[in-house]
Amino acid sequence: MSLAKRLIPCLDVENGRVVKGVNFVDIRDAGCPLEIARRYNEAGADEITFLDITATHEGRDTTYKTVEAIASEVFIPLTVGGGVRSVDDVRALLHSGADKVSINSAAITNPDLVSDAAAKFGNQCIVVAIDAKRVSGANEPARWEIFTHGGRKATGIDALKWSVEMTARGAGELLVTSMDRDGTKNGFDLELMTKINELVSVPTIASGGVGNLQHLVDGVQKGGADAVLAASIFHFGEFTIAEAKQAMANAGIEVRL
Partner 1 sequence: MDRIAVIDYGMGNLHSAAKAVQKVAPNDEVVVTSDVSVIESADRIFFPGVGAIGDCMKAIREAGIDRVLADQIYQKPTFGICVGMQSLFDHSEESGGVDALGILPGQVLKFGAMHEHGKPLKVPHMGWNQVTQVEHPIWHNIRPDARFYFVHSYYVNALDRDSVFGKGHYGIEFDALVAVENLVACQFHPEKSGNDGLQLIKNFVDWNGQC
Verify binding: residue 6, partner 1, rule CB under 8 A.
Answer: yes
Which residue from 96, 104, 148, 178 is in contact with partner 1, where contact means CB under 8 A? Answer: 96
Q: Shortest gap between Cβ of 145 and partner 1 (angstroms)?
A: 25
Name the active-site residue from 46, 131, 180, 218: 131
Per DSSP (E only), the strands in 61-143 are 78-81, 100-103, 126-134
| Residue 12: active-site member | yes
Binding residue for partner 1, selected from 12, 145, 173, 189, defined by CB under 8 A? 173
Residue 137 CB neighbour total at 10 angstroms: 8
Q: How many residues does the chain have?
A: 257
- Collapsing DSSP to helix, strand or coil, 80 comes out as strand
Using CA atoms, how far apart are residues 57 and 70, in angstroms rounded to an integer?
A: 23
By the rule CB under 8 A, 242 interacts with partner 1: no
Smaller CB distance to partner 1: residue 55 or 71? 71
Asked if 222 touches partner 1 (CB under 8 A), the answer is: no
Sheet strands (E) in 162-217: 173-178, 204-207
Task: Show the beta-strand stretches assigned E in 122-249.
Answer: 126-134, 144-148, 153-158, 173-178, 204-207, 227-230
Question: Is 189 annotated as catalytic?
Answer: no
Q: Could you tell me how many residues of this chain bind partner 1 (CB under 8 A)? A: 34
User: Closest separation between CB of residue 132 and partner 1, Å?
Assistant: 20
Q: How many CB atoms lie within 10 A of CB 238?
A: 14
- Does 213 sit near partner 1 (CB under 8 A)? no
Question: Where does this chain bind partner 1 (CB under 8 A)?
Answer: 1-6, 41, 46, 68, 71-73, 75-77, 94-99, 121-125, 172-173, 201-203, 226-227, 256
